[in-house]
């Protein structure tokens, strides 16, 4: 074994696997409190997850650096985090403010954010008014399909 | 035969055909929209069906069921978002075809395979619903546990080059499906004091998150202005028809698998399509093309998916036991018309039973005609810039999750699963096995729990399983599938290394 192979490198996937194994351990602990034989299935699943996470960790170490899996280094960008946070805020708003206002504002904001980092594409030529028209149209179409045509319930909130 | 012909006479009139055409169009739309299921569509139409009377009403419900299950393939192919759990394997090859600019091929392939599979399943329903209903009674808890294990082994096997990660992903799905009530004892577990978790991880919001939300997030991160290039291919229908006729053995095998699995109560279309997909891959001349845009993968998945539509009605019509939720809703419709499903159905209301079976054949033929026009419309989704499509799909997911669960908790489940799915996509961990684990988890747990209870009177669980030939066969198939996949993976790796060596020389 060469010196370079001995270097221990930690990646996001390692962290994910350790996290999954940890959750499986917590579930195993909870399964200990179940009556027999209903504890068998949860314990079987937890043990499998634990073993598979460990096997994946070892597999990570054994595979060659030029392999496809090895190349799966993740670049978590600020844009991704803001996108996730934006969705969470939209969910909170839809249940407090109401469907139409929150959907309209969310879509306009996302269309505006979507312009960043896109060079020389058609979106650059579109205005805020155009984005607002698209957002309004999408909100109305979703409402027509779900609420009016299929009579499904929308979140109740202080605005319509 | 005479009764079937009279069934056709009952439904071949302007009113019934018009209602069926509208039901098929609506069914395709509902199936295509993420979050809306065939169950939702059928239940929403129950009051309308009641107003039409038994023949027209049941024909309408059958048409919605057929079309909605087919419609799930459209979003699976175009957006990598299966509209129904049974369309999961369709996305494995359908979306890569879309990315290659061959969305039309995948869409028409799915349509033709669905129609042929649907017709095959209906013929099975007509010819053999009495004897097959009796066979399904031989499936007990150990067999269902074995069947679930087979489904999971098959899905892990198709995670090409990543069997370990595929199995881990499937087990994460199984773990998440354990949250909430135990399907046998009814005890609440793994909720960790969070009250809404008592109802468990709801399937539709979870699938929406895993496939739609994570995909929408991925779309927004992609480079370029559109998801994939799209240009209508001239003569694509003829091309796909040739591909379909060349893949007749896959089509036949998948239709048979779909029909058999559909008959088993509780098994569901997801198992049928995944087993068929795995079989198609295993028997293919070049299995390495699967997962990269093999139309045979779409054909296998969709023919099995629609073959199980009609055959899932076998236990309901033959024994009065609904095989899945769709069949349960249709059974409710039958009962609301004063018809008692079960063995007495043929003796007391054979005219309605045969009219319903005839309507399923007509529904599949109408689906072909309407589907060809709908494909042209649905493929236009690819012309929408991703800057508009991504946020719109996210909004659709949130509303769809709320509509499916009638609770904001369902939306948070969808969000959590979406973030998990997105992270797994980034880490190159397949999310398909996890979704299957979520769907199959309750079936597997119920099967094992009941088997253990039944085995208490036996000397051991192994002895108990060994005494049941069907379950023994299923477990043998599990081992064969898993080791077969490992063998194929090794061979593929060796072949690649050999090829690289030749290129270097």
Give tens-digit pLDDT for A55-98.
988 887 776 554 444 444 444 567 778 888 889 999 998 888 88
**pLDDT tops 50 at residue A1:** no
**Residues B312, B118: Cα–Cα separation, whole Å:** 11
B429 touches chain A (CB under 8 A): yes
Q: Could you say which residues from 120 to 139 on chain A have a Cβ atom under 8 Å away from some Cβ of chain B?
A: 121-123, 134, 138-139
Best to test chain B binding among A16, A38, A114, A115 (most B CBs inside 10 Å): A38
**A12: nearest CB among B391, B422, B427:** B427
What stretch of H or E contains B189? Answer: strand B188-189
**B403: nearest CB among A42, A115, A153:** A153
**Residues A148, A151: Cα–Cα separation, whole Å:** 5
Contact B166, B428 (CB under 8 A): no
**B427: nearest CB among A37, A72, A121:** A72
The neighbouring-strand residues paired with B300 are none
The confidence score (pLDDT) of residue B247 equals: 82
Q: Which of B8, B21, B90, B81 has its CA nearest to residue B306? A: B90
The confidence score (pLDDT) of residue A22 equals: 93
Query: SS3 of B188, please?
Result: strand
The confidence score (pLDDT) of residue A70 equals: 45
A44 touches chain B (CB under 8 A): yes
* Complex-level ipTM: 0.83
Minimal C-alpha gap between A4 and chain B (Å) = 23
Give the Cα-Cα-Cα angle A103, A104, A106 (nearest 5 degrees).
Answer: 65
Flag if B175 and A87 touch (Cβ within 8 Å): no
User: Pick the residue with more confidence: B38 or A40?
Assistant: A40
The confidence score (pLDDT) of residue B505 equals: 46
- Residue B337's Cβ-side half-sphere holds a number of Cα atoms within 13 Å equal to 25
A-B Cβ pairs (cutoff 8 Å, strict):
164
Flag if B444 and A35 touch (Cβ within 8 Å): no
Q: Could you say which residues from 318 to 377 on chain B have a Cβ atom under 8 Å away from some Cβ of chain A?
A: none
Q: How many CB atoms within 10 Å of residue A158?
A: 7
Radius of gyration in angstroms for the set of CA atoms belonging to chain A, rounded to a whole number = 24
Q: How many CB atoms within 10 Å of residue B391?
A: 29
What CA–CA distances, in Å, run from A121 to A116, A125, B221, B264, B385?
A: 11, 8, 15, 52, 10
**Residues B30, A159: Cα–Cα separation, whole Å:** 28
Best to test chain A binding among B25, B148, B168, B191 (most A CBs inside 10 Å): B168
Burial class (CB in 10 A: 0-12, 13-18, 19+), A30: middle
Q: How many CB atoms within 10 Å of residue B503?
A: 7
**B164: nearest CB among A52, A99, A134:** A52
Contact B310, B118 (CB under 8 A): yes
Q: Is the pTM of this model over 0.90?
A: no
The confidence score (pLDDT) of residue A118 equals: 52
Best to test chain A binding among B392, B441, B492 (most A CBs inside 10 Å): B392
The confidence score (pLDDT) of residue A150 equals: 63
Q: Which two tokens stand for residue B354?
A: 């045969």
Give me the count of residues in chain B.
505
Q: Which two tokens stand for residue A31?
A: 């399964």
- What angle in degrees, to the nearest 10, is found between the helix axes of B14-32 and B38-52? 160
The confidence score (pLDDT) of residue A23 equals: 93
The confidence score (pLDDT) of residue B496 equals: 54
The confidence score (pLDDT) of residue B21 equals: 92
The confidence score (pLDDT) of residue B308 equals: 85
Best to test chain B binding among A40, A43, A51, A87 (most B CBs inside 10 Å): A87
From B461, which residue of chain A is nearest by alpha-carbon distance? A37
The confidence score (pLDDT) of residue B492 equals: 59
- Tens place of pLDDT per residue across chain B (505 aa): 777 788 888 888 888 899 999 999 888 887 776 656 677 677 667 767 777 888 888 899 899 888 888 888 888 888 777 766 677 788 888 888 888 888 888 889 889 999 999 999 888 888 876 676 566 667 778 888 887 787 777 766 666 567 888 889 989 999 999 998 888 888 888 888 888 888 888 877 887 788 778 877 877 777 666 666 666 677 778 888 888 888 888 889 989 888 888 777 655 677 788 888 888 888 887 777 788 888 888 888 889 888 888 887 877 777 666 666 677 778 777 877 777 776 667 667 778 888 888 999 999 999 999 988 888 777 776 667 777 878 888 888 888 788 777 788 888 998 999 999 888 888 888 887 887 788 778 888 888 888 888 777 666 667 777 778 888 888 888 888 778 777 766 765 665 565 455 444 4
**B427: nearest CB among A13, A90, A138:** A13
B402 touches chain A (CB under 8 A): yes
The neighbouring-strand residues paired with B180 are B189
Contact B173, B433 (CB under 8 A): yes
DSSP state of A20: H
**B167: nearest CB among A52, A68, A76:** A52
Q: Which of B346, B314, B342, B313 has its CA nearest to residue B330? A: B313
What CA–CA distances, in Å, run from A49 to A52, B167, B338, B422?
A: 5, 9, 49, 20
Residues in chain A closer than 8 A to B200 (CB atoms): none
Q: What is the 3-state secondary structure (H, E, C) of B314-345?
A: HHHHHHCCCCCHHHHHHHHHHHHCCCCCCCHH
Residues in chain B closer than 8 A to A154 (CB atoms): 399, 402-403
Minimal C-alpha gap between B391 and chain A (Å) = 6
């Amino acid at each position: 074994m060469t010196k370079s192979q001995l270097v221990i490198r930690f990646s996001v996937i390692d962290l994910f696997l350790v996290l999954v194994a940890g959750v499986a351990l917590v579930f195993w602990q909870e399964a200990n409190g179940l009556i027999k034989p209903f504890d068998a299935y949860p314990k079987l699943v937890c043990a499998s997850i634990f073993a598979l996470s460990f096997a994946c960790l070892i597999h990570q170490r054994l595979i060659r650096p030029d392999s496809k899996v090895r190349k799966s280094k993740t670049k978590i960008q600020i844009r991704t985090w803001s996108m996730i946070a934006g969705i969470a805020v939209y969910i909170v708003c839809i249940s407090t403010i109401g469907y139409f206002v929150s959907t309209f504002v969310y879509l306009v904001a996302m269309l505006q954010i979507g312009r960043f980092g896109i060079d020389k594409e058609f979106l650059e030529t579109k205005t805020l008014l155009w984005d607002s028209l698209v957002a309004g149209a999408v909100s109305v179409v979703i409402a027509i399909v779900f609420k009016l045509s299929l009579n499904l319930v929308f979140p109740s909130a202080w605005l319509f | 035969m005479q009764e079937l012909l009279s069934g056709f006479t009952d439904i071949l009139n302007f009113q019934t055909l018009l209602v069926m055409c509208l039901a098929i169009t609506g069914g395709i739309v509902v199936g295509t929209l993420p979050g809306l299921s065939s169950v939702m569509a059928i239940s929403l139409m129950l009051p309308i069906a009641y107003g039409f009377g038994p023949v027209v009403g049941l024909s309408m419900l059958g048409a919605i069921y057929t079309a909605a299950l087919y419609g799930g393939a459209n979003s699976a192919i175009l957006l990598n978002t299966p509209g129904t759990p049974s369309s999961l394997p369709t996305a494995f090859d359908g979306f890569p075809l879309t990315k290659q600019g061959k969305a039309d091929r995948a869409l028409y392939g799915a349509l033709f395979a669905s129609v042929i599979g649907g017709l095959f399943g209906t013929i099975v329903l007509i010819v053999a619903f009495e004897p097959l209903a009796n066979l399904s009674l031989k499936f007990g808890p150990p067999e269902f546990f074995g069947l679930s294990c087979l489904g999971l082994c098959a899905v892990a096997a198709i995670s090409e080059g990543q069997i370990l990660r595929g199995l881990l992903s499937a087990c994460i799905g199984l773990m998440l499906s354990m949250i909430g009530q135990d399907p046998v004892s009814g005890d609440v577990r793994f909720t960790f004091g969070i009250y809404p978790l008592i109802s468990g991880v709801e399937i539709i919001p979870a699938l929406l998150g895993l496939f739609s939300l994570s995909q929408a997030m991925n779309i927004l991160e992609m480079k370029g202005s559109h998801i994939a290039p799209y240009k209508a291919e001239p003569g694509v229908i003829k091309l796909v028809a040739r591909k379909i006729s060349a893949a007749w053995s896959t089509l036949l095998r998948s239709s048979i698998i779909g029909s058999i699995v559909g008959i088993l109560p509780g098994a569901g279309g997801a198992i049928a399509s995944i087993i068929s997909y795995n079989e198609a891959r295993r028997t293919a001349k070049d299995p390495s093309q699967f997962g990269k845009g093999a139309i045979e993968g779409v054909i296998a998945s969709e023919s099995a998916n629609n073959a199980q539509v009609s055959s899932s009605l076998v236990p309901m019509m033959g024994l009065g036991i609904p095989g899945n939720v769709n069949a349960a809703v249709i059974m409710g419709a039958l009962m609301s018309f004063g018809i008692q499903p079960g063995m007495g159905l043929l003796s007391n209301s054979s005219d309605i039973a045969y009219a319903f079976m005839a309507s399923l054949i007509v529904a599949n033929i109408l689906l072909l005609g309407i589907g060809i026009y709908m494909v042209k419309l649905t493929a236009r989704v690819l012309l929408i810039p991703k800057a508009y499509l991504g946020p719109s799909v996210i909004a659709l997911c949130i509303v769809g999750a709320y509509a499916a669960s009638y609770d904001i908790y369902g939306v948070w489940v969808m969000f959590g699963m979406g973030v998990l799915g997105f992270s797994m996509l980034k880490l190159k961990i397949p999310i398909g096995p996890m979704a299957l684990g979520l769907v199959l988890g309750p079936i597997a747990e119920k099967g094992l729990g009941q088997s253990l209870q039944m085995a208490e009177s036996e000397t051991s669980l192994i002895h108990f399983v060994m005494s049941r030939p069907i379950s023994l066969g299923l477990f043998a198939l599990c081992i064969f599938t898993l080791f077969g996949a490992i063998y194929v993976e090794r061979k593929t790796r060796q072949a690649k290394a050999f090829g690289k060596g030749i290129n270097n020389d």
